Amino acid sequence: MTYPPVRQDPDMDLGLADRVYVLTGATRGLGFATARCLVDEGARVVVSSRHPDHVDAAVAELGGPGKVVGVVADLAQGDCAAALVALARAEFGRLDGALISVGGPPPGTALGTTDDDWRTSFETVFLGAVRTARTIAAALPPGGAIGLVLSSSARTPIQNLGISNGFRPGLVGVAKDMADELGPRGVRVVSLLPGRFLTDRTRATYGDPDDPTRARAGAADDVPLRRIGDAAEFGRAAAFLLSPAASYVTGSAIAVDGGLIRAL
């Protein structure tokens, strides 16, 4: 299925031209789709990943120097967030916001997960995201925005993802608390809760065994829209929420899930 580009109305302007955003874990999947939308709207981006080859490929695909700079970074490292802020300012002279995404924790039930897995995931999934948001928030001017890419597990537990079910709701609470604190400065914070999207990471779960570029039969039977999402659909939603066009949206946890989450 082919989807239209982010700008569907020639009179609509998201106000993203020349704004600068840091996107972590954004060389593939939902983060990359958001970077693509931001660049298409005239923004400049810093994308990061733990994998050098992914960084190089993403920078080339997004248009290279002048539009994007890429860096290998691990949010579990304490100095990572400050380095991303410094890079954005050095390359583009400003910073207007960030999309913070970390890899999913390992599968397993809450009772069947070891202490070591809980500790390691806390450092990456939870503390790494909180530290990055805190550091970037300190660098943002009025009108800045931070989006935390979480999961539908923040509202509805997912079977065999005990760590995610434990940490994602906590991050929604942290984002809400940050939004309260940063609001008087004119800085916004939102959580994004993606549902089922077909990306490189999820093809083994949702992909058709005969053609992994398509969703397998039955993968979306319980999704009201009856289909798996395309990453570009998430990217458009995230780009809007980071943009000045969403200037009165903060503190919200916004599902981008085709109606999958049944909680009110």
Residue 32 pLDDT level (bands cut at 50, 70, 90): very high
DSSP conformational letter for 228: P
Q: How many residues comprise the chain?
A: 264
Residue 6 pLDDT level (bands cut at 50, 70, 90): very low
Q: Where are the alpha helices (DSSP H) in the chain?
A: 29-40, 52-62, 80-92, 115-121, 128-139, 162-182, 203-206, 231-242
Question: Which DSSP string do the residues of 93-120 spell out, in sequence order?
Answer: S---EEEEE-PPPPPB-TTTS-HHHHHH
pTM score of the predicted model: 0.92
Calpha distance 44→66 (Å, rounded): 8
For a pLDDT cut of 70, what percent of the chain falls above it?
Answer: 95
pLDDT at 2 over 60: no
pLDDT at 1 over 60: no
pLDDT at 4 over 70: no
Calculate ∠ Cα 35-181-192, nearest 5°: 35
When the pLDDT of each residue in the chain is averaged and rounded to a whole number, the result is 91
Domains, the chain, in order of start with CATH, read: 20-256 (3.40.50.720)
Q: 9-12: long-range contacts (C-beta < 8 A, 24 or more apart)? A: 12/245
pLDDT at 145 over 80: yes
- Number of Cβ within 10 Å of residue 257's Cβ equals 22
**Residue 103: per-residue pLDDT:** 73
Calpha distance 205→198 (Å, rounded): 9
**Residue 11: per-residue pLDDT:** 60
**Residue 201: per-residue pLDDT:** 75
Interval 222-236 mean pLDDT: 95
Pairing of strands 211-215, 207-208: antiparallel
